[in-house]
Amino acid sequence: MDATSLDRMMRAWAEAQHGLVGTDQLRAAGIGSRAVRRRAASADWERVTPRVLRLVGGVRTVEQRAMVAVLDVGRGAVSSHMTAAALWSLPGFQLRVIEVSRPRNGSGRSTSVGRLHHPRALPPHHCTVHAGIPVTTLTRTVVDLGGSLHPARVEVVVHAAVRLGVSWEALGDMVAELSSTGRPGIGVVRRLVSDNVGTRPMESGLEVRFLRLLTEAGLPAPRRQVDLGGLDWAGRVDFVYDDARLVMEVNGSHHDDPLQRRRDDRRTAALVGAGFRVLPLPEELIKRSPAEVVRLVEAARRSVA
pLDDT in tens, 25-84: 998 888 888 888 898 899 999 999 999 999 998 888 999 999 999 999 998 999 999 999
pLDDT band at 252 (very low <50, low <70, confident <90, very high): confident
CA 299, CA 212: separation in Å to the nearest integer? 18
Neighbour tally for 162: CB within 10 Å: 22
Averaged pLDDT, 7-28: 92
Helix orientation angle between 138-146 and 168-178, rounded to the nearest 10 degrees: 60
| Strand-strand pairing, 223-229 and 233-241 | antiparallel
CA 171, CA 155: separation in Å to the nearest integer? 13
285 CB burial (10 A radius; 0-12, 13-18, 19+)? middle
Q: How far is CA 106 from CA 101, 110, 224, in A?
A: 10, 11, 45
Averaged pLDDT, 123-143: 97
CA 240, CA 252: separation in Å to the nearest integer? 18
Virtual CA dihedral for 43, 48, 52, 58, nearest 10 degrees? -60
pLDDT of 231 reads 63
Spatial CA neighbour of 66 closest among 121, 17, 26: 17
pLDDT of 265 reads 87
CA 22, CA 51: separation in Å to the nearest integer? 6
pLDDT of 253 reads 67
pLDDT band at 155 (very low <50, low <70, confident <90, very high): very high
Q: Are 189 and 154 in contact (CB under 8 A)?
A: yes
Work out whether the CA dihedral 110, 125, 144, 61 comes out positive or negative: positive
Locate all alpha helices (DSSP H) within the chain, ordered by sequence.
Answer: 3-16, 23-28, 33-41, 62-73, 81-87, 138-146, 151-163, 168-178, 186-196, 205-216, 258-273, 283-288, 290-302
pLDDT of 165 reads 95
Spatial CA neighbour of 181 closest among 285, 288, 101: 101
pLDDT of 107 reads 62
Residues ≥6 apart with Cβ < 8 Å to 236: 225, 226, 227, 228
Q: Are 263 and 271 in contact (CB under 8 A)?
A: no
pLDDT of 18 reads 95
Question: Is pLDDT of 226 > 80?
Answer: yes
Residues ≥6 apart with Cβ < 8 Å to 44: 7, 55, 56
